[in-house]
Amino acid sequence: VMEACAKGFKRLLLELGGNDPAIVREDCDVDKAAEGLFKGAFFNNGQTCCAAKRIYVQEKIYDKFVQAFVARARRAVLGNGLSSGTELGPLASAVQLRHVMELVEDARRKGGRVLCGGGATAGPPGDEGSNTGLFYLPTIVVDVAEGTRLVDEEQFGPVVPVMSYKDDEEAVQRANATRYGLSASIWSEDLDKANEIANRLKAGTVWVNKHCEFIRNAPFGGINESGLGRAGDLGEQ
């Protein structure tokens, strides 16, 4: 598309995919971070370009965060996406379901542990449109790292890896180790430090203590292989 537009010097806006990191610092409110990242990672069943797809947690609070995050995922309500109360609907296609399953199996082969989910399900019966067979349980994987497909690729589904880090420098380096650059988030009670880290992340949008939340008309778009230009009224000016 970009090549075709370039031949005629046409203006172009590209909004592409991402492999969006979240950094959870030791000074954050763990329960709020777990709830916020459940929504940020599993919104629309993870089928969102800017969903949280890699979570890095400071090692001192890693176990506490993982416990809270897994507990929240296990309470998720699956069903028809158009029904009130449903938190996760089906995947968009059989192709996407297979992709998610392949990523999880690859992680398992490389030593990853699935703490919840980890498999397809027909979905809850009785609600028209819900029993499609394209459901995948909300899945959290640990003991994985860069070099695993689940960490390196955009999963676009209800699966997220959670990894630990020692210090801010390591977290920033690992968060930026991607060919994408759509969005990211920082979770911290120290807003000055959070903003300092945010300015070092290579992403078009960086949230603090939230993820995948938008302000009407605010510019949105990515860098690197995540897109070109900015959408939104303010982004067009």
Catalytic residues: 15
CA 205 to chain centre: 13
In angstroms, the CA 157 to CA 92 distance is 9
Q: 113 in helix, strand or coil?
A: strand
Strand ranges (DSSP E) for 143-221? 159-165, 183-187, 205-208
Q: How many helices (H) and strands (E) does the chain have?
A: 7, 11
The DSSP code for 19 is -
CA 111 to chain centre: 21
Residues with Cβ within 8 Å of 224's Cβ and at least 6 positions away in sequence, in order, are 178, 179, 180, 181, 202
CA 150 to chain centre: 11
Burial of 152 (0-12, 13-18, 19+ CB in 10 A): middle
In angstroms, the CA 164 to CA 8 distance is 48
